């Protein structure tokens, strides 16, 4: 699945304040609140995000090999904002039962993960790069050189159709 997200440039801490804690915001854990990555503010811009839950049970390097050179792991703030904004606009929970590694590591050297956006809220967690987990897939992205704007209805519908086409092609390959 692909989504386009116009990232506002807010840090994870600012997003937690904006969206709050609970089922429509962040899961209530606080281990990361004083860590440097939570304060970082990546550049504003438009991101094309690809969600690959099927790239699970791979370690970090194996996932990076699948992503290729044109894309990369997202910053946790970009991914969190994309997930929470999508939910606010559509009432659809992305990544409700899986996580993605991000480009950030915490002060202990563990890879930051974002996901598990179930009824308890969006989880910020961590793991070591060499671990393989069944619930850790990939949300990769490329920053597009576009001015931030809202997608026109036609463009949004076109993106929905492209995602539907991908799902149909996967089903047809199974037969």
The per-residue pLDDT for range 63-92, each reduced to its tens digit, is: 999 998 889 999 999 999 999 999 999 999
105 forms beta bridges with 111
What does each C-alpha distance from 153 to 117, 143, 158, 160 come to in angstroms?
A: 26, 22, 9, 11
- pLDDT tens digits, 39-62: 999 989 999 999 999 999 999 999
Pick the closest to residue 50 from 129, 166, 168 (CA basis): 166
171 forms beta bridges with none
**Pairwise CA distance, residues 118 & 12, whole Å:** 18
The reported pLDDT for the residue numbered 68 is 87
**Pairwise CA distance, residues 21 & 26, whole Å:** 5
- pLDDT tens digits, 112-168: 999 999 999 999 999 999 999 999 999 999 877 655 445 455 555 666 677 777 777
Q: For residue 37, give the DSSP letter.
A: G
- Distance, first Cα to last Cα, the chain: 21
Q: What is the pTM of this model?
A: 0.82
The reported pLDDT for the residue numbered 148 is 46
Q: Is the pLDDT of residue 6 over 80?
A: yes
> Structural domain tally of the chain?
1
The reported pLDDT for the residue numbered 175 is 63
Exposure string for 38-57, b = 16+ CB within 10 A, e = fewer: beeebeebbbbbbbbbebbe
Count of H-run helices and E-run strands, the chain: 4, 7
> For residue 99, what are the domain limits?
2-174
């Amino acid at each position: 699945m692909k989504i386009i997200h116009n990232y506002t440039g807010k840090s994870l801490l600012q997003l937690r304040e904006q969206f709050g804690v609970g089922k429509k915001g962040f899961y209530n854990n606080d281990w990361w609140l004083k860590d440097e990555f939570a304060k970082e503010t990546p550049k504003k811009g438009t991101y094309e995000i690809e969600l690959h839950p099927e790239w699970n049970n791979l370690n970090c390097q194996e996932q990076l090999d699948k992503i290729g050179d044109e894309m990369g792991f997202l910053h946790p703030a970009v991914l969190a904002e994309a997930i929470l904004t999508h939910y606010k606009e559509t009432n659809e929970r992305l990544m409700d039962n899986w996580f993605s590694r991000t480009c950030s590591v915490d002060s202990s050297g563990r890879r930051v993960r974002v996901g598990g956006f179930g009824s308890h809220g969006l989880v910020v967690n961590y793991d070591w790069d060499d671990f393989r987990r069944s619930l850790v897939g990939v949300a990769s992205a490329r920053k597009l050189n576009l001015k931030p704007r809202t997608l026109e209805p036609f463009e949004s519908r076109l993106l929905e159709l492209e995602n539907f086409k991908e799902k149909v092609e996967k089903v047809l390959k199974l037969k």
